[in-house]
Amino acid sequence: MLIPRLQFDSRKVPHFLRTLLLLRRLKPEVVMLNLPWADYGMGSMLACALLQIPTLVVFHLIPHPLSLGSIKRRLYRWMHNREQKWIGVSMSNARFISQSFHLSQEETGWIYNGATIRPELPADMAAHRHRIRLELGLPPDAVIALTVARLSSQKGHDFLIPAIPSLLDKFPGLTFVWVGEGEKKEELLAMLSTYRVTDHVLLLGHRSDVPDLLQAADLFVFPTYYEGQPFALLEAMAYGLPLITTTTDGIPEVIQHKVHGLLTKKGDSVELLESICWALHHPEAMRQMAEEARQRVKDFSEEKMLVETLNLLKDLAASA
């Protein structure tokens, strides 16, 4: 079959050629490509297709069906038909892959992200919580709502901020702790200033002690707009931290509302405010949900992910 003609971005040609030469030298039986977005890695996909190497392509984030021109869709279809299997990391993402590239559901699939987390809980949890609050400059009785996420437009900090003033009126001991860096930091700082809540939100940047923070926090707030399947959420579940997140994409495949945590509509500050209020008024119910979530996350283990991935790679290699 002839390759459809396409205008290439010249900046991607060196990557494509390097990949092609590397594959010619290594002669792999099978290739696995992990791509953060659907339009990343086209050079690698094309190199694998040209050499007709069995290839597993894992799209980690397709938050909505893509709008592709006919030529680009033909190219993707051509690559797919050259011994490639495309999957997502959630059922939701797999559906968008199918819709974006006009593939049948049988031609796609998904393997959930896995995170085998075996928390080592401190011998004295009360002392640990006190120590973390002391290090953060917080009073011993501070209530910590933790968010671990990049400071980007994806993660929803911007619709959490409008809820904070009302929350502080009801819960003056509440402090929001944000872990992560990102391109929206200055914009978010400006929003915090506008809403006059700067003193109640700690931006910690990158941290190597996230497990310590998870064990010291009272609530995990993850107000994301779109996801594949977030590792941060799996980690919070493993540490038994009560959580509030959104109904977006693959999250409801992991979290059932009022069973494992609270789910809110993405972008809805009022609903998020109400959910956080409910959580803080019902700590025992949230603890019970957190325990259910801690058991639930065992279904999303690293071992299970590896077994399913290796089996798929073996099937691809055997079918060549």
pLDDT at res. 175 = 98
Pairing of strands 143-148, 174-179: parallel
What letter would DSSP give residue 225? Answer: S
> What local confidence, expressed as pLDDT, does residue 131 receive?
96
Cβ–Cβ < 8 Å for 62, 96: yes
Identical topology for domains 10-114+302-319 and 125-300? yes
The CA distance from 289 to 295, in Å, is: 10
Query: How far is Cα 148 from Cα 161, in angstroms, rounded to an integer?
Result: 15
Which two three-digit tokens encode residue 302? 């690293």
Give the integer Cα–Cα distance in Å for 190 and 198. 9
Q: Which top CATH class is 125-300?
A: alpha beta
Q: What is the pLDDT of residues 76-128, one digit of tens each?
A: 999 999 999 999 999 999 998 998 888 888 899 999 998 877 777 888 999 99
Looking at 39-43, 136-140, 155-159, 199-203, which range is the least confident one?
39-43
What confidence tens digit (pLDDT) does each residue in 3-25 have?
444 454 555 568 888 899 999 99
Query: DSSP character for 257?
Result: B
Has residue 2 got a pLDDT over 50?
A: no
Joined tokens for residue 85: 């299997």
Please report the pLDDT score of residue 279 as a whole number.
Answer: 98
Q: Which CATH number fits domain 10-114+302-319: 3.30.450, 3.30.70, 3.40.50, 1.10.150?
A: 3.40.50
**What letter does residue 64 receive in the DSSP assignment?**
S
| Spatial separation of the C-alpha atoms in residues 240 and 249, rounded to whole Å | 23
Domain parsing of the chain, residue ranges? 10-114+302-319, 125-300
Would you say 59 and 79 are in contact if contact means Cβ atoms under 8 Å apart?
A: no
